[in-house]
Amino acid sequence: MDFKKINSILISVFDKEGLAELLPAFKQHNVKIYSTGGTYTFIKERGFDAIEVEEITSFPSILGGRVKTLHPGVFGGILARRAIEKDQQELAQYHIPEIDAVMVDLYPFEATVASSSDESAIIEKIDIGGVSLIRAAAKNHKDVLIIPSKRQYYFLHQVMFQQNASTSLADRQAMARAAFAETTHYDGAIRNWMMKDESLRYGENPHQKALFNGEFENLFEQLNGKAISYNNLLDMDAAMNLIIEFNKPTVAVLKHNNACGIASAENGLQAWEKALAGDPVAAFGGVVVSNVTIDLAMATAIHPIFLEVLIAPSYTEDALQLLKEKKNRIILLQKNIYVPQARQKRTILNGSLEQDYDNFMVDMRGLNSVTGVEASESQLADLQFANKVVKHLKSNAIALIKNEQLIGSGCGQTSRVDALYSAINKAKQFNFDLSGAVMASDAFFPFPDCVEIADKAGINAIVQPGGSLKDQASIDYCTEHKMAMYMSGHRHFRH
């Protein structure tokens, strides 16, 4: 377990609530306390011994307290590796004491921002030494325990009163993870405040404040239109992640992060016309992305439609002149190849989630139908197209495709059957013939009801991940009704 006894601790905390209860335990276990400024005074006023950091550094606190602990005499004692003889020799040479634990609570930067508009007061609450102490102790967690904020005081209480002032390596690793999370959050708050002049108009709704952290100008040049909003950015992100799946001339129309229309064709104009036909009602106020140049013919077809954002790798001069007639229309030139970030992050509960970006796409040419009935060459192309589209729809999701055109989609449904009905109804609303169309599902069919509904609508080729305990029931139905069904083995949930 690699237990280590705490023989010394450096304490530098803004919030001192809970510290007084620990002082008797430090005394009981003969823990030597090093401290700074107000924390040192707090400890001494309660009748306990402490050593001022200045006794280690032989240097006073300067610049109004801005520089107190930033000294080799302090950081050497934290960062020295106990198992490396040279480190120990250098500590002895320079008379640097080992520090076994560090307890920090940073200046309340976020609280100061929330309560004050005084820039100088806010800047003074940017903690420098405390963050450095946290990172140093966390880095050397093999030997040193870090308590990075008041939220972890409880753990030090547990160590002192229940663990005989000793910690395991697992204990120290857990606190090191908390430490780096603390400094990441703290630095992010500072960065957000310093980018206050780059705030968005508002967040998802007008009563929410919002900020974009990133390098937008590396990817896009804005050629026209109003300021870009939070919701615009979300739709643009969804649009770019979708369009990079396609090599043929392709145009997509998105609303609320989902494609309401997408099609591939011989040229951009045809792709636009097919994409718009998929749902001309939902296209109103949407985000349009093209992977080919927008020329005058294409711009003439697009121009009458109210669109929030238009994205393309290039525009002809006459096309751009026409499109700019609508002053609020955001026109973006994609300057560089878009490569999605390798890791996706979300904040949840009192923490965050991270995962790899979903960059997998099965090649339909490498699959065989599980029913013995194979799709035609054109249907295989449609199945490939459908699987790319459904990957980028919110789950539960169904995409219906015919001739490389989205003719019906169901997304964000709590039931896969509901998603399918939604897709079929959408196709019928705009008078699409589903005979010979194909279907893609982002996840398996738990029952054969979906394949039966699809069959009765005229769909006779399906791609889905498979993996249900009742896969065979869907396979049996498709076999009996001479439907092609392919199982990709890869789910594409999107929440």
Q: Which residues are catalytic?
A: 139, 256
What are the Cα distances from residue 65, in Å, to 69, 72, 432? 10, 17, 73
Q: 3-class SS at 408? A: strand
User: For 365, which DSSP code?
Assistant: G
Element (H, E) at 115: helix 109-115
Q: How many CB atoms lie within 10 A of CB 10?
A: 27
In terms of Cβ atoms closer than 10 Å to its own Cβ (0-12, 13-18, 19+), residue 384 is buried
Which parts of 88-206 are beta strand (E)?
A: 101-105, 145-147, 166-167
Query: Are 144 and 172 a contacting pair, CB within 8 Å?
Result: yes
Radius of gyration of the chain (CA): 31
Which residue type does 154 have? Y
DSSP 256-294: TTEEEEEEE-SSHHHHHHHHHHH-TTTTTTEEEEESS-B
Q: 3-class SS at 298? A: helix
What distance in Å separates the CA atoms of residue 150 and residue 130, rounded to the nearest whole number? 13
What distance in Å separates the CA atoms of residue 254 and residue 283, rounded to the nearest whole number? 7
**Nearest to 297, CA basis, from 279, 327, 319:** 319
What distance in Å separates the CA atoms of residue 105 and residue 59, rounded to the nearest whole number? 23
Please name every residue paired with 264 in a beta bridge, in sequence order, or none if there are none.
Answer: 250
Give the burial string for 131-157 (b: 16+ CB within 10 Å, else e).
bbbbbbbbebbebbbbbbbbebbebbe
**Nearest to 175, CA basis, from 194, 196, 149, 202:** 149
